[in-house]
Chains A and B, each alone.
Chain A
Amino acid sequence: EWSLCVCVCVCGPGVRGLSSSSGPRVCIVGGGPAGFYTAQQLLKNTAVDIYERLPVPFGLVRFGVAPDHPEVKNVINTFTQTGQHERCSFHGNVNVGKDVTIDELRQAYHAVVLSYGAEGNRSMGIPGEGLPGVFSAKDFVGWYNGLPSNKELHPDLSFETAVILGQGNVALDVARILLAPVEMLKETDITQNALEALAGSKVRRVLIVGRRGPLQIACTIKELREMVNLPNTRADMLPADFEGIAEALKDLPRPRKRLTELMMKAVKEGGDDKAEKCWGFRFFRSPVEVLAGADGKRATGIRLALNKLEGSGESARAEVTGQLEDVDCGLIISSIGYKSIPIDPAVPFDPRRAIVPNEMGRVQDTAGLYCSGWVKRGPTGVIATTMNDSFDTARVLIQDMEAGKLDLSVNKPGAQAITALLQTRGVRAVLFSQWEKINAAEEKRGKSLGKAREKLLDVDEMLKIAWS
């Protein structure tokens, strides 16, 4: 079966890669920032193919970064250069693990890099979590960012209070999008249906809940500043949560100090009394149950356990006190972390840490298999973190090539073989130039709506345009 595929390739367009010295061939699974940054570094030494499940590239840069943070998406420009590189070949619409296996990729390439990120989310693990009205931040963000699998989310925004569990930057993004004036969003690439839902939203109060205290908060100052500066919104904090904080300020390193000072300022000043909307942090609280209304049909509140802090600083722990507090709310968003999942049984996976076990990017016990980004280190960090991590993996891979750890004397057929294999399975890839047609269509649709772009929400629509 293998040699049959190769023979078919010879008849196909172009014989690139089938000459006796085709050079090293590497493929990357996952077309998000990790995939593209890894490719960028590898391209200096080898041809690189990127396999991506969706027809469109860029992963969380497209589906995770908030619509009102377009500057963070500037990395798409450098990724586009990579995608257009003559030695780089993007294959969208290919589901690795389902359409093609990791073993099949390893046969076709000298090395395979897993950069498929974290498509799952950590669950709170509490009763009522599955009730209507409860969403993971991953899904909520995917909804307003046009992730096809979240297009039917239809969050009910007719309740006054929303509670977000978690206090990282994703939690603040969600809070900001819920409370931002529509004027701030209407020219961005937020999806039209999300924009319309938010325009009709009755949400006026957002509480952002964390297990520990103000000095352990995970968000960063830029995002906090944006909350503090939100028009028509005031801060609603509990002074009791901040006991002892002012005294601790002087010993804090500058970044933590400035962040805490900004929070204290928000506590003290509160903001415009006439503001129609409010937001606030609630500290020392853990969710223990989602409460349903009398009919038991949807979430109407959340039960929180009050904690006390043991220890201090980054390693402080939340301990239960036994006290409980109920908060009425109709929208609950859990923002406690993304989570990687195993995509192929042939790849080692650590279910406790939810990562692919590795040593500096070399997958454990599996020669020729590497990983980069969140699937390697866990789902935290910003694009720049992933960038450096991807560069590290690429360097290790190149080192291994140069040290003879990968047998480059063997010719590998690369994409020609995989494409032929996929064809027998009825799968056709979307090439980078075809993604660019989708891109142009989205920009055009956006223009008529006065927006940066109007994302296509339907995979079939994307494919139709790509292959037109």
Chain B
Amino acid sequence: MLAQQDSMAFRKCVQVLLRSSLAPLCHPGSTRAHPRFLHTVPRLCSQSQPNGSSGSKVLVHFVNQSGVKSSVFVTEGETLLDVVIKKNLDISGFGACEGTLACSTCHLIFEESVYDKLEPMVDEEVDMLDLAYGLTKTSRLGCQVTVERWMDGMTVHVPQEIKDQRGKQEAMRSK
């Protein structure tokens, strides 16, 4: 018999999966999902959900400029900028423009396998990223990356120094 919380989590996952055509087979009152779907439920449903907040909880590891790692459970649908702010992670000066693509201070470096699966960048993000210090082939702006279930367990790195290249370019030119 599943514990109350786990069964709620399980029900939620199944509901999401069955939303479109199979909804009648799984409704809120039921505590037993159709066994046919058990093996198609992604493993994240076995994660415990703290006090019934909506959206699945995804585990993300942040490594800051000093190499300090923080592991947090984040809500699907939040951006990584939201996460840093909400969880009060110790990353100085992160997200200066508050997610409006007007700076590059939320620059994060992803694992290649994760980076390849992210939604493609719009021009405006590339424009800002081009000015980011320590740009890598797997760099993105945290404000443009929305947490999704499949990211569970990923690690993101804050570049060694968060700087905006515009200052550097101009400083070099003024010499």
Interface residues, chain A, with chain B CB atoms under 8 Å away:
37, 41, 69, 71-72, 74-75, 77-78, 168-169, 216, 218, 220-222, 225, 254-255, 258, 314, 337, 377-378, 380-388, 391
B110: shortest Cβ distance to chain A, in Å? 18
Which of A225, A385, A388 is close to B127, meaning CB atoms less than 8 Å apart?
A225
Q: Which residue of B lies closest to A75 (CB)?
A: B96
B contact residues around A386 at 8 Å (CB):
167
Indicate if the CB atoms of B105 and A387 lie closer than 8 Å. yes
Q: Count A/B pairs, Cβ under 8 Å.
A: 92
Contact B130 A71 (CB under 8 A): no
B171 and A383 within 8 A (CB): no
Complex Cα distance, B98 from A140, in Å, reads 28
If the complex has contacts A74-B102, A218-B170, are A384 and B93 also in contact, measured as CB distance less than 8 A?
yes
Distance (Å) between the CB of A246 and the closest chain B CB?
Answer: 20
Which residues of A sit under 8 angstroms from B171, Cβ to Cβ?
377-378, 380-381
Give 24 pairs: A residue, B residue, CB < 8 Å, sorted on A: A69-B102, A71-B97, A71-B101, A74-B96, A75-B97, A216-B173, A218-B169, A218-B173, A220-B130, A220-B166, A221-B127, A225-B127, A254-B130, A255-B131, A258-B126, A314-B173, A337-B174, A380-B167, A381-B167, A381-B168, A384-B163, A384-B164, A386-B167, A388-B163
What are the interface flags for B140-156 relative to A under an 8 Å C-beta threshold, 1 for contact and 0 otherwise?
A: 00000000000000000
Tell me which of B96, B98, B123 contacts A384 (CB under 8 A): B96
Which are the 7 A-B pairs with shortest beta-carbon distances?
A381-B167, A385-B167, A71-B100, A380-B170, A255-B130, A384-B164, A74-B98
- A258: chain B residues at CB < 8 Å are 126-127, 130
Chain B residues 47-102 with CB under 8 Å of chain A are: 92-93, 96-98, 100-102
Contacts A72-B97, A222-B128, A255-B165 given; does A380 touch B174 at CB 8 Å: yes
Q: Is the CB of B174 within 8 A of A385?
A: no
Q: A220-B131, A221-B127, A391-B93 are in contact. Are A169 and B163 (CB under 8 A)?
A: no
Task: Tell me whether B130 and A221 are in contact (CB under 8 A).
Answer: yes
Known: A169-B166, A220-B166. 7 other contacts (CB 8 A): A72-B97, A220-B127, A384-B103, A384-B104, A387-B93, A387-B105, A388-B162
Residue of A37, A216, A382, A391 with most chain B CB atoms under a 10 A cut-off: A382
Q: In the complex, what distance in Å separates the CA atom of A337 from the CA atom of B175?
A: 13
Q: How far is the CA of A75 from the CA of B166 in the complex (A)?
A: 18
Residue of B nearest to A37 (CB): B93
Residue of A nearest to B103 (CB): A384
**Which of B102, B126, B168, B172 gathers the greatest number of chain A CB atoms within 10 Å?**
B102
**In the complex with contacts A222-B128, A385-B164, A378-B102 CB distance below 8 A:** no
B111 at the interface (CB under 8 A from A): no
Residues of chain B within 8 A (CB-CB) of A169 are: 166
* B contact residues vs A (CB 8 Å cutoff): 92-93, 96-98, 100-105, 123-124, 126-128, 130-131, 161-174
Is A378 in contact with B174, judged by CB distance below 8 angstroms?
yes
* B173 with A385: CB separation less than 8 A: no
B81 to chain A, nearest CB (A): 12
Contact of B98 among A71, A220, A381 (CB under 8 A): A71
Assembly CA distance A337 to B174 (angstroms): 9
Measured CA separation A77–B97 after assembly (Å)? 10
CB distance from A224 to the nearest CB of B (A): 9
Instruction: Report chain A residues within 8 Å CB of B164.
Output: 381-382, 384-385
- Chain A: minimal CB distance from B171 (Å): 5
A41 and B96: CB pair below 8 A? no
Contact between A384 and B170, CB atoms less than 8 A apart: no
Known: A72-B97, A388-B93. A222 touches B127 (CB 8 A): yes
Chain B residue at minimal CB-CB distance from A169: B166
Chain B residues within an 8 Å CB radius of A221: 127, 130
Contacts of A225 on B, CB cut-off 8 Å?
Answer: 123, 127
With both chains docked as a complex, state the minimum distance between the C-beta of B131 and any C-beta of chain A, in angstroms: 6
- B92 / chain A contacts, CB cutoff of 8 Å: 41, 391
The answer to whether A71 touches B102, judged by C-beta atoms less than 8 angstroms apart, is yes
Q: Which residues of B contact A216 (CB under 8 A)?
A: 173
Give A385's nearest chain B residue, CB to CB. Answer: B167
B79 nearest CB across to chain A (Å)? 15
A384→B105 contact, CB < 8 A: yes
A37 to B130, CA, bound (A): 24
State the CA gap A230–B147 with chains docked (Å). Answer: 34
The docked-state distance in angstroms from the alpha carbon of A169 to that of B128 is: 14
Distance in angstroms from A215 CB to nearest chain B CB is: 12
B68 vs chain A, min Cβ distance (A): 16
Q: Which residues of B contact A71 (CB under 8 A)?
A: 97-98, 100-102
Complexed CA–CA distance, A383 and B96 (Å): 9
For the complex, what is the distance from the CA of A133 to the CA of B128, rounded to whole Å? 35
Whether A381 touches B166, Cβ cut-off 8 Å, given contacts A71-B102, A222-B124, A255-B131, is: yes
A161–B105 alpha-carbon span in the complex (Å): 38
A377 to B161, CA, bound (A): 18
Chain B hits for A220, CB < 8 A:
127, 130-131, 166
In the bound assembly, the distance between CA atoms of A390 and B161 in angstroms comes to 13
Q: Which residues of B contact A385 (CB under 8 A)?
A: 163-164, 166-168
